[in-house]
Structure 1
Amino acid sequence: MAVIILGWQGWQEKLPRQPWAGIRTPYAMANDEQWRLVHRYGAPYLIFGGVAVFAGALAMLPFAIAGALPNAFAASVTIALAAILFVSAIVSWQKGVGGAKAELSR
């Protein structure tokens, strides 16, 4: 949920420039305009990744509560969800910085 909320705040331009949360590349941290643009372009990918991971975790929750998930399967799902979140963060960073650079070069 934290990733979804962070992405949403970045997309709505409500996430102030700070060193703790968001896409914190040197390019994004350079000034407020770049920070805003990086998050406007990168946030949808972060939101998508957060929603995918949250949905996957919720889908497994009843089975985990019932004790019907073998340990190897639960570990595989956890690794897959972490990979999805990692990839969405990388894509968010790349698309955000690329989109901001393209818009500022116009």
Structure 2
Amino acid sequence: MKQSNKTEWAIWGVCALSFAVTLALLPLLPARIPVHWNVDGQIDSWAARPGAFFGPAMGLGLSLLMKFLPYIDPRRRSYEKFGRAYDAFRLALALFVLILQGVTLYAAFYPDGLDVSRIIAACVGALLCVAGNYMPKFRHNYFCGIRTPWTLASETCWRRTHRFAGPLWFWGGLALAAGSFFLSGRWLAAATAALGAVLVVPAYLYSYFIYKSSGED
């Protein structure tokens, strides 16, 4: 798979930064740290101080998983055609986890200092924008992209579905990021859930109709 060395180094640099910052702050952290927030943005679950490493561990785990998935994909050669887009999404995901770790560490010192639900919604929106931007470049594979029975069965259906869904995800992500400035709490959670349906259902149905209309069944 073609890779950008700079992007690859950036991914592991982000993972290392997450561990380094957490390790540096560990002696200063309170005895318990927040690890979960409810839909109103209020902390509803805590962990002992070593739990601060959950975020860095998750980021490293996701980065390693996405690094090696192409090697076990039966369509591994497809990644050679969209390696840069795939690595760019890997980097965006690593940055997403890093930001969440930063929020967790900040909230450990100032539990009421952030509206976490808004920050998470804005970050999810940004990640959706990145995914939507690169989605039309994703090639036929089993792990990365919109995987329905019909996109997996037909390369034409895969290509057309991702060209359809890419702009939808981009603008949907932008709407969510913008909405995080105006909505909060349960209203923001409801808007996020509704957006999830808007992004998933049309793409699923579109792939079905494209496959049926192509006569490949």
TM-score of the pair, normalised by structure 1: 0.64
Which has the greater radius of gyration? 2
Q: Is 1:83 aligned with 2:194?
A: yes
Q: Does 2:206 match 1:95?
A: yes
SS at 2:128 equivalent: helix
Cα 1:26–1:100 change in 2 (3 A) is closer
Identity among equivalent pairs (%): 27
Question: Closer, same or farther in 2 for the Cα pair 1:10/1:101, shift >3 Å?
Answer: farther
**Cα distance, 1:96–1:6 mapped onto 2, change above 3 Å:** farther
Structure 2 match to 1:8: 133
**Which has the larger share of strand?**
2
Residue 186 of structure 2 aligns with an amino acid whose one-letter code is A
Higher RCO by CA contacts (8 Å cutoff, separation 6 or greater):
1
Which residue of the other structure, out of 157, 160, 163, is the alignment partner of 1:40? 163
Q: Which residue of 2 aligns with 1:65?
A: none
What secondary structure, in the 3-state scheme, does the structure 2 residue paired with 1:20 have? Answer: coil
- Structure 2 equivalent of residue 27 of structure 1: 150
Gaps of 5+ in 2: 1-125
Structure 1 unaligned spans of 5+: 61-68
Confirm or deny: 8 A CA contact 2:129 2:174 kept in the other structure. Answer: yes
Q: 1:2 to 1:75 in 2, by over 3 A?
A: same
Q: C-alpha separation between the residues in 2 aligned to 1:87 and 1:25?
A: 16
Equivalent positions of 1:53-64 (< 5 A) are 53-57=176-180, 59-60=181-182
Q: 1:48 to 1:89 in 2, by over 3 A?
A: farther
Aligned amino acid, residue 48 of structure 1: W
Given the superposition, is the C-alpha separation of residues 4 and 91 from structure 1 closer, same or farther in structure 2, using an over 3 Å criterion? same
8 Å contact from structure 1 (residues 28, 34) kept in 2: yes
The answer to whether the 8 A contact 1:6-1:15 is kept is no
Change (3 A) 1:100 1:46: farther
Q: What do you get for the CA RMSD once the two structures are aligned? A: 2.5
Change (3 A) 1:44 1:101: farther
- Report how far residue 24 of structure 1 moved: 0.5
TM-score (norm 2): 0.35
The answer on 1:18 being equivalent to 2:141 is: yes
Name the counterpart of 1:64. Answer: none
Given the superposition, is the C-alpha separation of residues 3 and 21 from structure 1 closer, same or farther in structure 2, using an over 3 Å criterion? farther
SS at match of 2:139: coil
